[in-house]
Structure 1
């Protein structure tokens, strides 16, 4: 059953409902994973999404912060969630499609501004979250699975606009990259985006602080699509919908797509 999946940090699903609908109508992914929904589950505007063919949703939410949702044209079974680092945040939800593929949708903590856990509690929480992800996937040994989301780390030198300048900036520090690599290794995850686009600068996030984000192009690849080795060869067609960053009242993230012939 071939299907196309997209992941997008939407930065408030209710505020940005019009551009979610635009994406669903124009691009029509079979599955859309959203992060930072900033909404209780019962307040997510599902009526509009159903009108576009997305009759299935599994989600975890909270008022004003965090929140993850999987919208699907295809039937999907709720496979639960994990509260890594015991933060009490809605940062993970998993669903299983009828073809047996499990989709994990993650919103990893951003980590604050200072990359030092001794002076910045949020940075410590981020590292702890990633450590518990690693341990869970060591124990879980995922199979026939896809992991997507805003992982808030740009791991490669060509995932950021300037590697040297960002080495001490949260999201690209060596310790964060090391922790993310440990998560990948624990689940034997394959980076599908970079499998398809192995070389060159590639971003999915551009700060709101840049007056002309497109011209400045100081981006980072914070949003990821991974798959387990048993289905990684079925992944293809990866792309970042950069144009969405310029839509009306945009998120600071752009959607990332991949297709799977599973």
Structure 2
């Protein structure tokens, strides 16, 4: 699939997972929802490898890095994200997720010694302005709700670990590791961490009696984890984690549309302007608006 197709898959699916997560809140501890989600996703990936005859044998050094991805991306990132959405609406989480791009750029430079691409910084900055304009009314709540700050802190910690997982994933993929096998092991390690934590804290392993919970869980596992992460990791492999992370500035638009239907979001002119800023920033970040070199004077 071409990069644009992979990009669209990630944007459409992850733009809808914000609201899907809210249907799981309050039924079981968030750590269990994360464990259930990635258990199903890892099982699907494992069966796919078995059917296709794909080897799951990888070097020990790669396993250590996949263990880190499992801890950062599939354990801490999503667990903290689930907890944060108990205090703030999904649209505001989508706004703050834009910070992943900047964290990715810094970590990519520090850990992988790869150059900082200025088009990504400029594009991300325009996109961040756009996202801020879209959800401008949400910031009026910051001074009136103390628990909102708790949610913001949890969300920001979540995005730091997401960025760390992205950069380590790029390092793994740079070594020629297949995407499907990497995701299988990383998600499996994530399940190991989340389940161990649940056992250590004596969290009751409950199975909710709720159709909406299980519908959301299957959607998040199959589409949000198996398909979207498969597409995303291919983008990381082809474009780098800095450019691939730009999906976090695009899927708030999808989140916005869904929030309009389910959370009563009201459109306003700053929101429309914000969408235009995001689209312009995307064009810059992906190198679609590069300056032409000056023509020689004859």
TM over 0.5: no
Q: Please give the range of the TM-score, normalised by the shorter of the 2 chains.
A: under 0.3
Task: Tell me: higher relative CO, structure 1 or 2? Use CA pairs within 8 A at least 6 residues apart.
Answer: 2
TM-score normalised to the size of structure 1?
0.27
The structure with the larger Rg is 2
